[in-house]
Structure 1
Amino acid sequence: MPGRSIQVEGLMIAVREAGPMAAPAFLLLHGWPQSSHAFEPAMERLSQKYHVIAPDLPGIGGSFGAPKAGDKKTLARLMKSVADAFMLDRPVIVGHDVGGQVVFSMLRNHRDALAGAVIMDVAIPGISPWEEVVRNPQIWHFAFHAVPRLPEELVTGHERAYFDFFFDALSKDGSAISSEARDIYAEAYSRPESLKAGFDWYRAFAVDARENTMTPKTGIDLPVLYLRGSAEPGAVEDYLEGLRSAGLTNIEGGIIPDSGHFAADENPGALVERLVRFREEVR
């Protein structure tokens, strides 16, 4: 997938780009422990009709340099600058996992720049059912990743094996995430700054929660779609209820079939179908 790097606030951000520049746009944000490569199959399909860009989040993969902290308000500001640099006219922003947390911050702080937003497979810090999620012992890695320095010490040199655990545990069928893709993701976090950038996203959750629970001045009526893979634990309606209570007044939910946590890898065809339908609805 063609790409280039741009400078944003002193950081070099690598961005994949496809599709006609004058077409309606998508901005795709990956999560942990992935890179923009996760969206490559979806981009191939979407680019037939849409202008699509997918950056590596700061410090990850082909992006060099990272902000001093991993709070999502900062990342949202940086992604707004990326969208501006590519002259995206009110894109639909799609965020998976941590990328979805960035999307929520975009809704709070930059909604006028968007046509709509899609949040995938993630709990938003401070927003119900966040407290239930962080108390779940199966989500142990939230606490581990937030510990200063120790995750880097233990995971450095073992990125592929560590990430494999999550790909196998959280997908419906681990074989849907190819060995080639797993190698690419491990390589994307192989630099010290990359691994730290990823763990810093978790270290910022307390800051994110405080920001996210500040009452917005007005309700957020931008169209929002919340998606979960069919094999993901947790009811979509629980997440919708929390997001509505946080001020999102125009939100609907959906399920990606035959998929666990990593829908862009596991079932890109179904994901694209749902994204296209949403994009046409908010046009």
Structure 2
Amino acid sequence: MRALWLAEGGEFVPPGAGDFNLPPIFLGITKPMLLVVLSVVIIALFFVMASRRLSVVPSRFTFVAESVYDFGRNNIARELIGSKEFRPYVPLIVTMFSFVLVNNIFGLIPVIQFPTFSHIGFPLALSLLVVYPLWHYIGIRRHGFAGHIKNQLVPPGVPKPVLVLLVPVEAFVKFFMNPLTHAIRVFAAMFAGHLILIVFTLAGQYLLLEASGPLKPVSLVSWAFAIAMTFVEALIQVLQAYIFALLAANYISAALSTDH
């Protein structure tokens, strides 16, 4: 991104959505595309290296990997899907949590400084091409096609006259809004958080270099806000990875269950 947002006359022009559209590096490949591939390599190497030398007393590196796995296994998959049926879905939940987390944290790493999921296409692809096909597959395998659709659209105990109004609403929410909001949650958080960091950082640079003498010290205030927001953004990045994996586990649980 540009170092300074300056209009003619030296006025500050804040960054906007257009600044997230990074130009191709080569052959149409953009920085976010490379970061997605890099995240897969990082996650694979992380777990492979951590599992190579297992021992009764794990090293710090192995302990971190085990903590990530244990968190995805017990705090997400087991809690949401249930202790009887969660095991087949643990690799998916742990991988999804790790994948979203690494791509979010890219926004705070020097030089990289770009959260991949601030591009809507990536979380939308993960939602529409992984989570929701799996949701339907699990539900149809468990209940049959008709049973799965009924299970999702017809809540138990609802009077039949009410179903005339309720079923279309449930269909709209389950088959359109849920996939969309699943992706938008992490996208909106990453986009807004990164934009806020850029605004405070560049505003401080502008005040220091372009503002009149009395306003130059205010640049320190702007940078202080940028530092504070960096810690907040780190917390949000972890939280959004957790929420994304949590919702995926919840949808799997809904597909397996009979009553909702």
Instruction: Report which of the two has the higher share of strand.
Output: 1
Structure with larger Rg: 2
Instruction: Report which of the two has the higher share of helix.
Output: 2
Which structure's relative contact order is higher, taking Cα pairs within 8 Å and 6+ residues apart? Answer: 2
Q: Same fold (TM over 0.5)?
A: no
Q: TM-score, normalised by structure 2?
A: 0.27
